[in-house]
Amino acid sequence: MLILAIDTSSATATTALMENGRLLAEFIQNTGKTHSQRLMLMIDEMLKSCGKKPQDIDLYACAAGPGSFTGLRIGASAVKAMAQVFDKPIAAIPALDALAYNLYRFDGYICPMLDAQRGAVYSALYRWEKDKLEKLEDYRVIDAKTLVDKLNELDQPVVILGDGIEIAAKHLDAAGRISLAPAGHLQPRAASSAAIARQMQEQGLVESCYSFRPVYIRKSQAEVEYEKKQELVVRPMRLEDVDAVWEIEKLSFRTPWSRESFVQELQTNLTARYLVAELGDEIVGYGGMWFVLDEAHITNIAVHPDYRGQKIGDRIVKAMITAAEKEAIKNMTLEVRLSNAAAINLYKKLGFEEAGIRKGYYFDTGEDALIMWRR
Residues annotated as catalytic are: 335, 347
- Write out the H or E segment, with its range, that includes residue 37: helix 35-49
Torsion from C-alpha of 174, 178, 184, 189, nearest 10 degrees: -150
The distance of Cα 121 from the centroid of its chain, to the nearest Å, equals 15
Nearest to 364 by CA among 260, 209, 253: 253
SS3 160: strand
Residue type, 270: L
Rounded-to-integer distance, Cα 333 and Cα 370, Å? 11
What is the CA angle 311-315-320, rounded to 5?
A: 145
Rounded-to-integer distance, Cα 126 and Cα 94, Å? 13
Strands (E) across 130-237 are located at 132-143, 158-161, 178-180, 232-236
Residues with Cβ within 8 Å of 116's Cβ and at least 6 positions away in sequence, in order, are 66, 122, 141, 164, 218
For residue 150, the tally of other CB atoms under 10 A from its CB is 15
Give the phi and the psi of residue 247 in degrees, each rounded to 5: -60, -45
Could you say which DSSP state residue 174 is in? T
Bin 108: left if φ > 0, else alpha if -120 < ψ < 50, else beta. left
Max distance between CA atoms of the chain, in angstroms, equals: 92
8 A C-beta contact, residue 165 and residue 113: yes
Pairing, β 272-279 against β 232-236: antiparallel
Residue type, 197: A
8 A C-beta contact, residue 113 and residue 148: no
Rounded-to-integer distance, Cα 287 and Cα 250, Å? 14
